[in-house]
Structure 1
Amino acid sequence: MKKKCLNCDEEIYVKPSHFERKKFCSRSCKTEYQKKNPPLFWKKMSKKVRVFCSFCGKEMLRKPSIIQKNNFCNKQCRRMYLIKNAHQINQHLRKRVEKICKICGKTFDVPKNREFSAKYCSKTCLGKANGERGKAQYKKRIIVTCNNCGKKIEKKPSVARNLNFCSVHCMGDYYERTRMFSGENNGAWAGGDIEYYGPNWRAQRRKARERDNFTCQDCGITEAEYERELSVHHIIPFRAFNGDWEKANELSNLITLCEYPCHRKRHSQEIWLKI
């Protein structure tokens, strides 16, 4: 279908479906026509009003229909304004209830959501309440004897045990003297310790660490980060080779691990496999 360009009156061919929509022969004609006859939205642009950002004071142009009590130039200014004036915003919407302080009897108000949790009007009253509570709990303490040095100590009934110690040192001395967690009493006991892994153990250990780039193969920590030498673990336990240290110490049977927790985890898994 033929139609005339609105700007230059040149005839143009358009599809029937585009007859109402197509009005210009080119973009340049459309631009010239709009300069001569500004569109309606351009007229609306001229009606914009100058306003100022409520946070930073920056001048802006806004349509009258979107101007509010507080206007912002960007989201960051709006966020900072809300943070600065949070104590003044929507206070009329907060429901408050009155409570009576359990220490001084003074009446105070709290938000509705703290109706059942608020008990005291101030930190001073809270401190006094904690002091009274502590005195009551202290009276319930019992006297027990340190199993290592015999010293009398006070403990809450909930933490008193069959074995009680006055300090960590006393606990360590007692465990060392009685060998409570040593040898057969240890959960990781596997029939005795093997201290000698053969004449080539040190060399093979060094080669395994070099092969693994001085890095734990389970968690990825390096010796520099671990601040000490990493351990070398026998994938198949050394005792399974019945003293054949050459086969036990082959590099294919060795892996570099950090002592804690990876090396200990490997040994704990071996114990569970035996059970």
Structure 2
Amino acid sequence: MDCPTCGKSLSTEQGMRQHHTKVHDESLPNRTCSGCGTAFYDPKARLEFCDDCNPNAGEHNGNWSDAKESAACNRCGSDFEYYPSDKDGVYCSDCVEAALGLLPENPSERGERVTVECGHCGSELEVRPAKLEQRERGCFCTLECYGEWLSENVVGPDHHQWEGGAIDYGQRWWRIRRQALERDGYECQQCGVGADELGQNPDVHHLEPVRSFDQPADAHTMDNVITLCRRCHRHAEAGSIAVSPRDEK
């Protein structure tokens, strides 16, 4: 499947979509409007209509600019406009502003925060003290940083997929790994991101886990390995994405 922007050929539609989002910084349409037939992108892939055809948009939306209603302020008597809801308008904005400090504190106001460093990249972020106490592994600025930290620190018996001691991959592994990278053009075969974009060589993933073989060397065959970026590799190991051999794509 070819990328509509750069023409790069990807083996799967999912890989092509991920490639377009990462490389071209734009998500491809994933929905077709039931009203006008226009293709559009919805992050959750749930919407039935585009913005122009949405029956809940425009005058049908309670927050539509022309849907405001007028009322007299209960305090100063001046007329003001408000968006209709299940409650009638009571006070104008001037009276509300004048009452600041006299009303009870808003429980949703920003509470105390402390500055900590991301456990992986060292970037500063602000968190509530209570949340800091709950995070035994520390705090992270993004899920990607948390995933990288897990890959580096949650290993051996601490890993949820731990099944025993270390496996000696042997010298053959490094030769097969290099050949797989060369065969796959140093690009992730799931999303299409390459070594230049990653800033390092991608990983090489065993389709059939090494532990399922009596001899680890038997797992190191070209038809049992595939190049994946670190992100796709984690998803493949967790079983959240299906990775097929190259000859099945």
Instruction: Name the TM-score class by shorter chain.
Output: 0.3 to 0.5
Larger radius of gyration: 1
Q: RCO (CA 8 Å, sep 6+): is it higher in 1 or 2?
A: 2
User: Which structure shows the higher helix fraction?
Assistant: 1
TM-score (normalised: structure 1): 0.41
